[in-house]
Amino acid sequence: MEQQALHYQLDPVLVNLCDKEIQIHCGPEEPKNTRQGQVEECLKRKFDALSSVECRRHVALLITAVQIDIQADPMLHRACAIDLVTFCKDVPPGDGRTFRAKLCEQINRNYQNGSRYFSNGQPESFFVTTPIFYVNAEPHIGHIYTAVIADSSARFNRLIGNPVTFSTGTDEHGLKIQQAALCANNEPGQFCDHVSGLFRTALKNCEISYTDYIRTTESRHKENVHAFWETLSEKGYIYKGKYEGWYCTADEAFVAEDQTTLMKLPNGQEQRVSMESNRPVEWFSEENYLFKLSKLREELRRWLKSGPAVIRPLRHYNLVKSWLDQELIDLSVSRPNSRLSWGIPVPGDSSQTIYVWLDALLNYMTVAKHSQSEMNIWPPSVHVIGKDILKFHGIYWPAFLLAAGFEPPKSLLVHGHWLVDEQKMSKTTGNVVSPQSCINLVTATGLRYFLMHEGVPASDGNFSTKRMVRIANSDLADGIGNLVSRCCGKSLNPLQMRLGVSPSSFESCGSPGSDLLSLLERTPDIVHNEYQQWNFYKGIDQVMALVRGANGFFQTMEPWKLKKEGELDKLNATMAVTMETARVVGTLLQPIVPSYSERLLDKLGVPQEDRNWDFARLRWNTTETALGSQPAVLFPRIKSE
Ligand code: MSP
């Protein structure tokens, strides 16, 4: 294989101390991993050949590796950084200390300058959405669950350096809302203002960091819906016809005859219901506009074939695929104004009102058109949705977009439902859990943590207040809370300092230190992958395993004894290692429990600019940092367990 010399210029500060320029020989442009493998091997070979007198040269090579890594592999960076500091210990005393400090500074600078998760160096714009919520009823924790999933991924993407657009809002048109307003004896506009306000407050109280809150009654949205309708119409996808069939107002959905069944009511009468949702259907026979859905089957199949990642989890991908194995029938996309007045009129025909799902789905496009981002953010990166609205997002929405000549969304993330006593939470069943009641009990942190810890997208979850309290107490108050108060408490940390940490800190703690070191090194990358795959619960499990590891380490080291026996080096090492682990834990948990993580990082005196994902890993550091002055209690135990 042809050898190619790669030249890396050392930082001018170090040129005086190290050799001028280092050449590393490795293969020509190849898949990154092979190239890095070669670089790493080459470095190792050189290291083996070096005697301790050549210490500086050795160090220079490591710096080079660190610089390579900035554009490449984080694993290599870490390996080199560890070797680097270890090796620096062999630098002869005298100039050694300054030398070491400068090197550490350099590594930190390198970390700050490079985003290690984008090898092409380009941040990717990330556009995530929640469904817009019906305003017929108040928010419940099912709604909040959707929003927290979207929020965690928005926060995670911000941490890894991507510009984020994150939209949420309210779905305010349609028969369902018209009827709800009537029941509340209120004019629909006022009714919507009120309930939309309740959603906004609930989302704020749950620390949802949306960038746009869209309401379908806004004029920017109406304009977009009109423009889109006209495009569909010009492209020949809309025609006037007659719709005869069943309609479910609760789902705002047309239901085929074979998808309905008769259900016995408690009074002995029979009611026809939708088999999917068990909600009543009514027979409609009316003139309206139809959308040529039947023409889009092949295009939809092609979209789906772009990979199973389009719809996750796999079972929902398979479900949509199975729907597309059958014929699609054209979809009614308007209702006579005499039946439905609360909606957006069809352009040029005010006797008809646009079907509420077409209106609602277009909220995503209204947001994109009004995005503050400099980038063109279409298509959406991911729509987070509950499984009950899969057909609308997995069939109708991409069909509308394809017909109008737009790209369909890159992906859908489908989650299960929260059940109470094995039944879906709903206003009609009367088993709704309000987010505010949970916040009052366990705070927004406790609620978010519970939803993300217990919520497994592929299945339904059973909500239990008892369990929510138990989990918040055991993980947030005991697990992480203890870890932080142990290392920040005045008895073992009288100077209230976060100590610098180096490989020798771990080494001097013996095998408990090396066990924790390997856990601490492994965890961030695993968490990164789990978060990226939407497996937040798995990421949290990994963080909690690290917390248990650190608490176990602390217990084994018995720092209170070390203090008594005057073993100050070991005591400092124990404290430094524990604090570094707590810092990593706090950084990793930011997408899940933002304000809790903020308190943790504030307590540890971590500067704001040191909280992005580049810092979500072990970092050697020689400086001492003052702890924050706030109390070390991050999450007071909840008594009502
Ligand atoms: N308005 C439509 C969405 C239009 S998006 C273009 C709608 N609204 S909804 O208020 O009924 O539901 C909003 C979201 O909350 C959906 O993703 C739905 O799946 C989710 N949830 C509603 N009840 C839920 C549970 N009990 N559990 C989990 N999520 C649930 O559908």
Q: Which residues is 164 bridged to in the sheet?
A: 126
What lies within 8 Å, CB to CB, of 431 at 6+ separation is 420, 421, 423, 425
What lies within 8 Å, CB to CB, of 538 at 6+ separation is 530
What lies within 8 Å, CB to CB, of 190 at 6+ separation is none
- Give the pLDDT band (50/70/90) at residue 300: very high
Q: Which residues is 248 bridged to in the sheet?
A: 253
Q: Which residues is 171 bridged to in the sheet?
A: 134
Instruction: Answer yes or no: are the C-beta atoms of 596 and 476 closer than 8 Å.
Output: yes
**Residue pLDDT, tens place only, 52-76:** 334 444 455 555 554 444 344 444 4
Which one has a higher pLDDT value, 199 or 456? 199
Q: Sign of the C-alpha dihedral, residues 34, 35, 38, 40? A: negative
**CA–CA dist 545, 268 (Å, integer):** 55
356 CA from centroid of ligand 1 (Å):
15
Give nearest CA residue, ligand 1 atom 29.
142
Most confident stretch, 40-49, 285-294, 421-430: 285-294
Which one has a higher pLDDT value, 380 or 79? 380
**Model pLDDT, residue 4:** 33
List, chain by chain if needed, residues with CB within 6 Å of any ligand 1 atom: 131-134, 142-143, 145-146, 171, 360-361, 363, 385-386, 388-389, 417-418, 424-425
* Helices 594-603, 435-454: crossing angle, 10 deg rounding: 80
293 CA from centroid of ligand 1 (Å):
24
CB-CB neighbours of 3 under 10 Å:
9
279 CA from centroid of ligand 1 (Å):
15
| Residue 597: its H or E element | helix 594-603
- What is the position in ligand 1's atom list of the atom closest to the CA of 392? 6
Local structure of 334: helix, strand or coil: strand
Same fold, 126-415 and 452-626: no
Local structure of 261: helix, strand or coil: strand
**Model pLDDT, residue 41:** 53
Which one has a higher pLDDT value, 13 or 234? 234
**CA–CA dist 37, 45 (Å, integer):** 12
Give nearest CA residue, ligand 1 atom 18.
386
Local structure of 425: helix, strand or coil: coil
Q: Which CATH number fits domain 452-626: 1.10.630.10, 2.40.160.20, 1.10.730.10, 2.40.37.10?
A: 1.10.730.10
End-to-end CA, the chain: 66
- Give the pLDDT band (50/70/90) at residue 374: low
Which one has a higher pLDDT value, 255 or 94? 255
Residue type, position 568, single letter: L
Give nearest CA residue, ligand 1 atom 22.
142
- What is the position in ligand 1's atom list of the atom closest to the CA of 384? 17
- Give the pLDDT band (50/70/90) at residue 372: confident
Give nearest CA residue, ligand 1 atom 21.
142
Instruction: Answer yes or no: are the C-beta atoms of 483 and 505 closer than 8 Å.
Output: no
Task: Write the secondary structure of 529-577 as one string of H (helix), E (strand) and C (coil).
Answer: HHHHCCCHHHHHHHHHHHHHHHHHHHHHHCHHHHHHCCCHHHHHHHHHH
What whole-number percentage of the chain has pLDDT above 70?
80
Which one has a higher pLDDT value, 549 or 243? 549
Place of tokens 């590393």: 24
Residue type, position 485, single letter: S
Average pLDDT, the chain: 84
If one residue of 132, 144, 146 were mutated to test the ligand 1 pocket, choosing by the most ligand atoms within 8 A of its CB, it would be: 146
- Indicate whether 479 pLDDT > 90: yes
If one residue of 128, 129, 133 were mutated to test the ligand 1 pocket, choosing by the most ligand atoms within 8 A of its CB, it would be: 133
**CA–CA dist 510, 566 (Å, integer):** 18
636 CA from centroid of ligand 1 (Å):
32
Which one has a higher pLDDT value, 289 or 71? 289
Cα–Cα distance list, 288 to 103, 157, 335, 352, 609 (Å)? 73, 43, 6, 7, 57
238 CA from centroid of ligand 1 (Å):
28
Place of tokens 């979500």: 616
177 CA from centroid of ligand 1 (Å):
15
What are the residue ranges of helices labelled H in 50-94? 55-71, 74-88
Give nearest CA residue, ligand 1 atom 30.
142
**CA–CA dist 252, 357 (Å, integer):** 7
**CA–CA dist 384, 364 (Å, integer):** 12
**CA–CA dist 198, 113 (Å, integer):** 42
**Tokens standing for residue 42:** 């080459």
- Indicate whether 81 pLDDT > 80: no
Give nearest CA residue, ligand 1 atom 10.
133
Cis peptide before 313 (omega within 30 of 0): yes
**Tokens standing for residue 145:** 């669950």
**Residue pLDDT, tens place only, 32-45:** 444 445 444 544 55
| Residue 49: its H or E element | helix 32-49
- Indicate whether 303 pLDDT > 90: yes
**Model pLDDT, residue 313:** 93
Burial of 129-160, coded b for 16+ CB within 10 Å and e otherwise, reads: bbbbbbbbbbbbbbbbbbbbbbbbbbbbbbbb
Q: Sign of the C-alpha dihedral, residues 258, 238, 223, 149? A: positive
**Model pLDDT, residue 284:** 87
**Tokens standing for residue 184:** 């509340």
What lies within 8 Å, CB to CB, of 220 at 6+ separation is 366, 369, 370
Average pLDDT over residues 313-342: 94
pTM of the model: 0.81
Task: Write the secondary structure of 345-410 as one string of H (helix), E (strand) and C (coil).
Answer: EECCEEEEEECHHHHHHCHHHHHHHCCCCCCCCCCCCEEEEEHHHHHHHHHHHHHHHHHHCCCCCC
What are the residue ranges of helices labelled H in 185-269? 188-205, 219-234
- Indicate whether 395 pLDDT > 60: yes
Q: Which residues is 24 bridged to in the sheet?
A: 6
- Indicate whether 200 pLDDT > 80: yes
- Indicate whether 401 pLDDT > 80: yes
**Model pLDDT, residue 601:** 97
131 CA from centroid of ligand 1 (Å):
7
What whole-number percentage of the chain has pLDDT above 90?
68
> What dotted CATH number matches 126-415?
3.40.50.620
- Nearest one of 390, 397, 391 to 360, comparing CA atoms: 397
Instruction: Answer yes or no: are the C-beta atoms of 300 and 395 closer than 8 Å.
Output: yes
**Residue pLDDT, tens place only, 517-566:** 999 999 999 999 999 989 999 999 999 999 999 999 999 999 999 999 99
120 CA from centroid of ligand 1 (Å):
37
If one residue of 171, 278, 397, 412 were mutated to test the ligand 1 pocket, choosing by the most ligand atoms within 8 A of its CB, it would be: 171
- Indicate whether 109 pLDDT > 60: no
If one residue of 168, 358, 362, 388 were mutated to test the ligand 1 pocket, choosing by the most ligand atoms within 8 A of its CB, it would be: 388
**Model pLDDT, residue 61:** 52
**CA–CA dist 522, 516 (Å, integer):** 10
Q: Where are the domains of the chain?
A: 2-113, 126-415, 452-626
If one residue of 390, 400, 415, 417 were mutated to test the ligand 1 pocket, choosing by the most ligand atoms within 8 A of its CB, it would be: 417
**Model pLDDT, residue 124:** 79
- What is the position in ligand 1's atom list of the atom closest to the CA of 364? 6
- What is the position in ligand 1's atom list of the atom closest to the CA of 393? 6
**CA–CA dist 339, 170 (Å, integer):** 22
Return the DSSP state at 336: E
Rg (CA), the chain: 29
**Model pLDDT, residue 370:** 93
Instruction: Answer yes or no: are the C-beta atoms of 395 and 323 closer than 8 Å.
Output: yes
**Model pLDDT, residue 375:** 67
Give nearest CA residue, ligand 1 atom 23.
142
CB-CB neighbours of 317 under 10 Å:
20
